[in-house]
Chains A and B, each alone.
Chain A
């Protein structure tokens, strides 16, 4: 994905596109982040100011603001900077994403056949993002959904996955590790047993959410299909569950490209 052939001329053009629409400060802040990303960990404030041709006082003020908001992190030597983990939250800003057409088609088909909201969620490391929200059933509180990973069904899938892998949990869940580790353990056990996560009444009384994992070739969690519906239909989904499971199978990434194609080769010849 890194694309080492990328010409260096692209970075300046990206902020330049923004200039027309965004206030100047936002443009400058993104340019600073871009410059730190380009130079790599340890770049100093002075270097950023020189490379961007921005006045020093302005650059330092911007950098300190970005450090305050944790998009940038000052390195232990106090001179250099690197990107903070919070820049991941900018991902949708710098690269607006939409799921591929084929996935949209599958999800639309499910929506047509199911009464309730069907959403597509994508997971990256310890972060998650709702990439396709059901337009007829908007999310009740998307900020809380992603902040309270141990409460939302889609978040519980991620928590269970990270616990299974023994990977560190994101900072917002860490206090729970100390306060009630048994809560996290029960989430993990629930997902391991049922192969799905759910919650009722946590966001809207009388309603709940059911999240079915979409797994990659190695069984890793890459995405999920979630259904939000009245409580009774979450607790006893009936045939809807089969429809959704079928959806997750159709959305799952194919096994590595080489494997299925080898037997096809003779026929092409």
Chain B
């Protein structure tokens, strides 16, 4: 009797348990597959620790909408939708819409390649970390310098831009405001204070605030676009698609300029550690940012071309096309609304870019590439507050010093955007080269991905050279020069640092690793 029980119990777990009392553990049947066995009795997983190297941040907390807000705000689509069409039209002539469409396709190509990393690595260093993981420390550091230049100068540009449009707004009631240097300095300093407070107080505050601002300002732009289209008849104006007045060379330059309207879409990858489901949220946010801002640019550009066409005027002859259009179509009050929208959109862009900048600095601090104090996080707010507190004064001082030296706000902005755009495009080239190398190393390279990455890298390299040559030859040569000098300084710093600390080669490129709580059998019960 007893021996019978002992033989049958393990074989027919459920039956035996039912006969010898109602033991709840018999609720699970005998595991039949490896998956069931693993769930019933998780085998220990070696190599999983309890701490991540990026510990201290608010790990896995912000949702998709916040991640999307980060990327969209860094792009500042409403500010770009009012300024970029003019910049592109001046160069590309009739091909403006096409140049924007090409830039959008190229951005999608880059986004797809960046996402090969963001689907696999959760980090704060954005493209810096990705390139380090793909091409090693040297190329990684070049990308890191380019990213710091990109995020840093776009933040300076945005602060200056917010100051510029606020001055125009104040100029409506106090005509002296536009030319007052003291006022501009005071406004930039005040906004820099806002930026640093928002960033230190927690990632959710900065993403929610920028989301609110961007939603409102995009809505304002869309209202104006619809007003324009209704006023001009509503039927599609095919002439907007003509390529008249543009040559292959001018078209290429136009497309590169249009690309600068998209830069920043990758910045949600700096929230890899803080996103709740980073491998889902970050790639989606990157692609949707390109789609949302690209669509807005196309609609806004079309409406501006059609708007000027209907008036019989030339878009490129206008200094402020959107305001001119608002006046011409009798909705002048919209001009006021637009200035508010652009100013706040620039402020959101400054917050988002500095958020990313602080996280790249944080990663470099944690690695020991930069002083480790930059890797310190706030105990309560769980933000890289030292990096933010160091970055923001620099970001604010550059435009302040520039206008104090007698350069106008608008001229300063023109130079800053060139430096930033060159930084972004450099990092994009490197990340597109790095992606196939990285995928090959982890054994996950497929032909389609490789072809797209190589195509994007080739197009971007040409674009970067064209851009730098054009800018060196033009009025904004100072921007191109500053970019080249900064990159050289960054590389010099790296060579010195590497000689003094050879161990850096092993630490560069930190990312969030799974901890015991994420893994089945990672040490905690479950």
State yes or no: do A and B come from one complex: yes
A100/B446 in contact, CB under 8 A = no
Specify which of B10, B27, B277 is in contact with A99 (CB 8 Å cutoff): B27
Other A-B pairs beyond A84-B519, A168-B517, 5, CB < 8 Å: A3-B31, A11-B34, A45-B444, A95-B31, A126-B524
Q: Which residue of A lies closest to B24 (CB)?
A: A223
Question: Within 8 Å of chain A (Cβ to Cβ): is B235?
Answer: no
B48/A76 in contact, CB under 8 A = yes
Residues of A with C-beta under 8 A to B24: 99, 103, 120, 122, 214, 222-223, 251, 253
B39/A87 in contact, CB under 8 A = yes
A95/B27 in contact, CB under 8 A = no
List 5 A-B pairs, Cβ < 8 Å. A41-B47, A83-B521, A122-B27, A168-B524, A222-B24
Complex Cα distance A94/B27, Å?
Answer: 14
Complex Cα distance A105/B22, Å?
Answer: 9
Complex Cα distance A90/B37, Å?
Answer: 12
Residues of B with C-beta under 8 A to A253: 21, 23-25
Complex Cα distance A67/B512, Å?
Answer: 14
B23/A95 in contact, CB under 8 A = no
Residues of B with C-beta under 8 A to A126: 524-526
Residues of A with C-beta under 8 A to B47: 41-42, 75-77
Complex Cα distance A87/B39, Å?
Answer: 7
Q: Which residue of B lies closest to A15 (CB)?
A: B33
Specify which of A11, A46, A70 is in contact with B443 (CB 8 Å cutoff): A46
Complex Cα distance A45/B23, Å?
Answer: 40
Question: Within 8 Å of chain A (Cβ to Cβ): is B496?
Answer: no
Question: Within 8 Å of chain B (Cβ to Cβ): is A235?
Answer: no
From residue 100 to 155 of chain A, which have CB atoms closer than 8 A to chain B? 100-103, 105-106, 120, 122, 124-127, 131
Could you tell me the distance in whole angstroms from the C-beta of B396 to the nearest C-beta in chain A?
33
Question: Within 8 Å of chain B (Cβ to Cβ): is A33?
Answer: yes
A78/B525 in contact, CB under 8 A = no
Q: Which residue of A lies closest to B382 (CB)?
A: A178
Question: Within 8 Å of chain A (Cβ to Cβ): is B18?
Answer: yes
Complex Cα distance A98/B279, Å?
Answer: 35
Q: Which residue of A lies closest to B439 (CB)?
A: A60
Q: Which residue of A lies closest to B443 (CB)?
A: A46
Complex Cα distance A100/B517, Å?
Answer: 32
B22/A83 in contact, CB under 8 A = no
B48/A10 in contact, CB under 8 A = no
Q: Which residue of A lies closest to B512 (CB)?
A: A76
B interface footprint on A64-75 (CB within 8 Å = 1, 0 otherwise): 100111100111
Could you tell me the distance in whole angstroms from the C-beta of A266 to the nearest C-beta in chain B?
12
Residues of B with C-beta under 8 A to A88: 39, 520, 526
Q: Give the interface size class of chain B.
A: 35 or more
B519/A83 in contact, CB under 8 A = yes
Complex Cα distance A44/B39, Å?
Answer: 20
Residues of B with C-beta under 8 A to A106: 22
Question: Within 8 Å of chain B (Cβ to Cβ): is A268?
Answer: yes
B37/A6 in contact, CB under 8 A = yes
B31/A1 in contact, CB under 8 A = yes
A-B contact count (CB 8 A): 193
Q: Which residue of A lies closest to B10 (CB)?
A: A3
Residues of B with C-beta under 8 A to A46: 443-444
The answer to whether A131 and B18 touch (CB under 8 A), given A68-B279, A79-B443, A171-B517, is: no
B36/A254 in contact, CB under 8 A = no
Residues of A with C-beta under 8 A to B23: 100, 253-254
Question: Within 8 Å of chain B (Cβ to Cβ): is A82?
Answer: yes
Number of residues on chain A facing chain B (CB within 8 A): 75
Question: Within 8 Å of chain A (Cβ to Cβ): is B280?
Answer: yes
From residue 32 to 49 of chain A, which have CB atoms closer than 8 A to chain B? 33-34, 37-38, 40-42, 44-46
Complex Cα distance A76/B510, Å?
Answer: 11
From residue 8 to 43 of chain B, which have CB atoms closer than 8 A to chain A? 10, 14, 17-43
From residue 173 to 225 of chain A, which have CB atoms closer than 8 A to chain B? 214, 216, 222-223
Could you tell me the distance in whole angstroms from the C-beta of B160 to the nearest C-beta in chain A?
39
Specify which of B14, B119, B441, B519 is in contact with A73 (CB 8 Å cutoff): B519
Could you tell me the distance in whole angstroms from the C-beta of B511 to the nearest C-beta in chain A?
8
Question: Within 8 Å of chain B (Cβ to Cβ): is A232?
Answer: no
Could you tell me the distance in whole angstroms from the C-beta of A60 to the nearest C-beta in chain B?
5
Question: Within 8 Å of chain A (Cβ to Cβ): is B502?
Answer: no
Residues of B with C-beta under 8 A to A52: none
Could you tell me the distance in whole angstroms from the C-beta of A124 to the nearest C-beta in chain B?
8
Question: Within 8 Å of chain B (Cβ to Cβ): is A236?
Answer: no
Complex Cα distance A57/B19, Å?
Answer: 50
Question: Within 8 Å of chain A (Cβ to Cβ): is B448?
Answer: yes
A84/B518 in contact, CB under 8 A = yes
Question: Within 8 Å of chain B (Cβ to Cβ): is A24?
Answer: no
Residues of B with C-beta under 8 A to A20: none
The answer to whether A78 and B35 touch (CB under 8 A), given A45-B443, A70-B518, A95-B28, is: no
Could you tell me the distance in whole angstroms from the C-beta of B4 to the nearest C-beta in chain A?
12
Question: Within 8 Å of chain B (Cβ to Cβ): is A19?
Answer: no
Residues of B with C-beta under 8 A to A101: 18
Could you tell me the distance in whole angstroms from the C-beta of A126 to the nearest C-beta in chain B?
5
A83/B38 in contact, CB under 8 A = yes
Q: Which residue of A lies closest to B518 (CB)?
A: A73
The answer to whether A57 and B446 touch (CB under 8 A), given A87-B39, A268-B2, is: yes
Could you tell me the distance in whole angstroms from the C-beta of A214 to the nearest C-beta in chain B?
6
Complex Cα distance A57/B522, Å?
Answer: 29
B35/A254 in contact, CB under 8 A = no
Could you tell me the distance in whole angstroms from the C-beta of B112 to the nearest C-beta in chain A?
13
Complex Cα distance A1/B25, Å?
Answer: 11
Complex Cα distance A125/B441, Å?
Answer: 37
B525/A125 in contact, CB under 8 A = yes
Could you tell me the distance in whole angstroms from the C-beta of A40 to the nearest C-beta in chain B?
7
B521/A64 in contact, CB under 8 A = no
Residues of B with C-beta under 8 A to A85: 517-520, 522, 526
Complex Cα distance A84/B521, Å?
Answer: 9
Question: Within 8 Å of chain A (Cβ to Cβ): is B359?
Answer: no
Residues of A with C-beta under 8 A to B119: 64, 67-68
Could you tell me the distance in whole angstroms from the C-beta of B519 to the nearest C-beta in chain A?
5
Specify which of A14, A44, A214, A268 is in contact with B32 (CB 8 Å cutoff): A14
Question: Within 8 Å of chain A (Cβ to Cβ): is B45?
Answer: yes
Q: Which of B17, B22, B48, B446 has the most CB atoms of chain A within a 10 A radius of its CB? A: B22
The answer to whether A64 and B120 touch (CB under 8 A), given A1-B41, A102-B22, is: yes
B22/A97 in contact, CB under 8 A = no
B34/A38 in contact, CB under 8 A = yes
A131/B21 in contact, CB under 8 A = no
Could you tell me the distance in whole angstroms from the C-beta of A73 to the nearest C-beta in chain B?
5
A97/B18 in contact, CB under 8 A = no
B520/A84 in contact, CB under 8 A = yes
Residues of A with C-beta under 8 A to B28: 1, 95, 97
